[in-house]
Structure formats: C-alpha cells, structure tokens
Chain A
C-alpha cells in the first residue's frame, strides 16, 4: 500500500513538471528566467536606487532569494493543492497528503536546478566551494522539513477557509521582508532582534549565507532549534490533514 502511494506521488510529480513544461512557450526556461527577473528587480531597488545593499550584495541577495523562493513556491502551490483537487477527492479515496507532497516535490526539483545555477554563479564570482559546504546538506534538509510543515498546515486550512487565498500572498510578502532576504537585519534594533530570530527562515538563510559566502559552519544550536520546531509543525500539519479529511468531501461544491 505504501509503495503504491509512493509510485502515485512520484508519477504525479513527473506529471506536474511535464505539464508545466507544456503549458508555456518557453517551458523549462522560465524556471531560470523568472527568478532571474525577480533578483534583478530587487538588485535595482536596493543596490542601485536605494544604495542600501552593502558589500557582497549580489551574493547576499541571490542566496536569500533562492532559499526564500523555494519556501514561497511550495507554500503557494502546495497550500492550494487540496482545495483545487476537491472534485477529485469526491470520486476516489486517497490520503490527502499526496497532493501537497507532489507540489513540494515538483517545486524542490525546480529549486535544485536553480541552486545548481546559483553555485556556479557564486564560484565564478569569487566565492569558491569550501569545506563548510558539507553543512549545506543539513541546512537544506531542515529547510525541507520546515517547508513541508508550513505547506501542510496551509493546505489543511485553505479548503475550509478559501478566503485565505487572498491573504496568503500578502502574508508571504511581509514575511519575506521580515526575514532578511533582500536587506540585512543588522539594522534592526536590539530589543526587536529577538523576535526576528524566532523566524526559522532567518536562521536558515543566515546559515546558507555563512556557508556559501564565508565558509562558516552553521550555528548548530540554532539550526537544531529550527529543526525541532519544523518537525513539530510537520506532525501537526499531517495530523490536521488527516483529521479534516472527512470534512473536505462534505464541503459545498
């Protein structure tokens, strides 16, 4: 049974990626072009116009945006996945975690492509690989758990409160600005700093930048804390989906 679900999830992920390629003229090229355009916009605003970027701003921005975009795309796509598949789940009995999981896997494949490109760009601009790259794996794994956790919770709630669709994009935008993605949080006053540190994204992006730009190992204690929070949130999200499943099929069409 488990193997069957595994096969369904994998094939659905392939189907999702394949369909995405077929849906647009440039197909897979957009996986690169869209983040590149995004980065160029922020660079223009913060480094050129506002001149508030600081040294190494391009690397700072690229790493932050790459790690952020992974989180954001999974939550945006996966968060709606159950709601969009309501007609299907009225026809057949399936464990609903499959739907957000498929979106997360598809967006992770895209992320890995962009990450590979990012690494090449960094190597070519004076940030060669170093021994701390080994620490990249635990950082990415922890981010993956956190991404899955947030996605599951959103996916569980959206079918019951579809109005959240209008709110999620705004909330994600605010979180991005509060996570040190496009500008450094060094300027945040000390008394507010401890609230910012509660945001798991801040720690993950900090760790990523430390490894890729400065060859520093992550703060294992902080990373461990994020991992625990993420695992707890993941368990909660999975539990929510399972408990709410009987209610989804009875929602008005």
Chain B
C-alpha cells in the first residue's frame, strides 16, 4: 500500500487517462520530482522526456498530452491562473508547450489534480469529466463538429453549469496544424498545434469541477507575502494605471510601431501606416464592452468586445496584441472590425491566431510575387483584403478549399510553392509580433526557443521596447546573449509556478535585468513549504530549459535549427527607426551557447547536464 504523503501547493495527484483502453487512474506526484521541476512547464517536460519518444509521429497514439498546473495555480497568488499543455508538436516536430489562463486551470487544481496525462488514442470521440477526485470518460460523438462555444455550452449542460472546460473546435478534429485548445470559451493554449494532438486522440475536451481549496503550507505567511505583492501593485499603479487594464495587450502596438518593429506585409516592413486604426485605444473606443480578468488577476488585460453591426457583427473576446499583428498589420488589414471577427472565428473554430494570420500573410506574399496562382486560392489574394481574411480563417478551421493548404501552416505552404524562405518562422513556428531586425534580443529568443518562435520564451520586448524593468538599446546585439538566457530561465520559473508573466516580471522579480524571481520564491515557499533558496529556484528554471533542449537534441534538433529566415539575417530593414539593420543571429549564437554551457553545435554538455541532474 502506498504511503499517503501530504503535499501543499501541489495536490500530489496525477490523473492518467489511457484512451486506448478507456481506463483512468490516479497516481501520486513524487514530492522530489515536484520540487525539482516546480510544476506546470517543468512537470510537462519531466513527463514528456520520461514517457514520449522524441522521434515519434506527433499525431500518432505514441504521443502524449500533458496538462500541468503549478504550485501557485488556483491559489490567491496574483495571476495564479495558468496551466501548460506539453506535447510533441504536429506543426514543428519540436516540443509544444502552450500556456493558458482563464479559470479552467484553477478549477483543475481545485479538483485535486496537478497534472493530467492523456495517452494512446480513443477508438471513438470522448470527453473527460472530472468531478472532484472522480473522473470518467464519456462519449463525445454528439459533440464532434461543434465549435468551442457550442461544446462549452453542451458540456456544462451535461455535467455542471459551473464546471470549466478546455476543448477543441473543428480545427483540432481536422488536425489543422495550428489548432488550439480553448478553455473558458475564449482563452487559448494556442500555439504549436496542441489542439490537433487532442483531435488525433479523439478527445473533444475536458470538463472539470473542483470542490476544494488548494492546501497551503503556511496560510498566514502566504497571506502576508501575497498582501505585500498585491500592495506593491496597488502602490505602483496609483499614479500609473496599468496600460493593459486600460486598453488590453493591444496597447503594445504603440511600443512596436514607434520602434519600427511592428511586423507588416509578412515582415517586409516594420511600420504600418494605418496602425492607429487597429491599436488599443481605438479598440477601447469602438468595441470594448469590459475588461475581463483571469482567475486571481489584479490586472485584467482580457477584452470582452462587441461589433454592434455591419458585416462583421459579433461578440466575443479579443483581439490581443499578437492577434492584431498577425491578422492585422502582417496582412495589411486595417479594418479592426474584420480582424476582431477573424479573432472570434479563430476562438470558435479553435485556431491559434498568430500562426493563422502569419500563414495568410505568407500566402499573400506568395500571391503578390506570382508564386501562388489565383486558381489555387479561388480568389485574388491582395494585401489588406479584410473580407478574404475572415473567409480564409473559416476555410482553414474546416479544412475547406484553399483553407486545406493554409491548415498545414506557413512553412509547408511556402515550401509547396517553392519558396520556404517566405515563411516567417523559427523551427517551423510563426514569429510573434516583433521584428528581429529591430529587436536583436528577440531574434535570439525566437531562434533558440524550444517551441520555435515565441514571445513567451524570455520575451526581450520587455527590456528592448516596453520599459520593464528598464530599456536597453534594441539594436545592439553584443550584450544580448546572457540577458536573453537569464530571462528564458526566469520565464520557465514563471510558467512552472503557474503564474502569468504580466504580473510576475514587473512585480515578482527584483526588477533588474537579472530578473531574479524573489517574489515567486516567497510565494512558492509559503504555499509548498519546499523552502527553495533563490539559487535553487533559478537552477530549476535552467533545468527546465535544458531538459527541453535535451528532448529537442534527441529529436534531432541542433544549431542548424536555431535559425531565422534569410529576410531577417540578410535583407536590411528597409525603413523606420531600424532602417539598415539585419538580425545578428550568427554572432549571438556562439556566446549564447557558451553562456549556457552548450557545445558550438548547441548541444548541452555532459557537465551541464550533470550539474542540473538531468543525467
């Protein structure tokens, strides 16, 4: 009989769902593993490395989906709302670990589970109903083909109205390579095609109802620490109302446009003439209904919006900054109603807005240059065509007509038409809304990210553009490798703890370029009693980053894959504040690998792996 170990912060339970055999069982979370990998993203790579062959076909039953919360998820810690979905990506063949907030992750934690592991493949469509510690597989045959909103409605009708859902839409079912998992109707574990892996396993979604609060090691201490950081936030925002609360992440357009790094025309330009028609203050004025926070969040960057009339009439959430870049400036669409409608469609069909917009932008450039014939698209595909944008999103989610080609993602699309260099990707994943030629640190972060291009793996935009904690010149490259590496590790800690970067970077670090996670350590220690030192927690971040790199190495990735399209490294920026610059990626990679303790080929050395306990 297994001895019962009482854990705090962590629930101590892993729900393992054998989809092939239709069995569900609860396993204990090893306290040593929990401390070593912290949670969330850390537990994701722990189980992925242990249980999934790095060479497997991502949409085969051999792949697994790991949904993991952190020790602060579901607690009163500011932004303790996040979970991570880790799997092998059908878009990139690399790791996919995609993060989301909302309320589903906290509800999962309150059901008494830290982690769900989905393995094998169900013979028929199913969903998983987790009601506290009880879990069962139920038929989802009647849900197949429904949108994410329709599925959310149906699942809560069939279980409990107050239950929370994470589901796929038609895009996930049809194995669209950029399919997302949508929780709480409009929050997305968006990137790298995690929704397609669920679809390949015949899983429509998870619905969960929790019945218990997360146990805390020292509730009094937790309350004191939590109060301190919440008060810091209140004090700091007294004279400086949070821009993200006022205008959502869409306000970030100001930072990128003014620095000349707002991607436009598939990254042919870094400024967009009509940017003011699609940025945050315009969104607030025209379509904002209310700001919407995730669980336990004092910022409330979420946007509930409504297009009251016209051809794009609708209601939903968004758009966020990344969506505005991808479906807006990158396609030269300046119609905010249209791109907001395209965002609604992505949420309902279950598609990552970033890769969707970037893939359409790629198709527009292929068309512009004469490589993509009109007969294949079924229409002329002109820059700025808002109507085409909305139409193509729908076609992609349903894999209809030209959408079937778009559903393969930008790299496969551009390769099919003979010009892979026109896909703005790293490791096959589309760039976020920041131009590497005008933001050297971001270029390095895109290239070295284990999931392919992402702004959520160290996000140098904070210190290169947005003034947090301070700003350093975005055009210098010599100083960036160690800073980017440190921030990558800190982001791994934030993701492992179950927090959101928006609060954590500004309020839970020491607010220096070292970004030491002092506040996170205090909160995690009060919640878990794990008694991390700052150095131990920082080491855990580095361990997670290296464990992810090790998985990639075993899947065949190396320096050759830490790359950017030639447009970024060879074609100087044509205009704007970054005019004349290219991204100095090759010059940065060597010092970056050296700082990391990796070989010149980007492989973690035995010494580094031993130091981190990874071998």
Q: Do A and B bind each other?
A: no
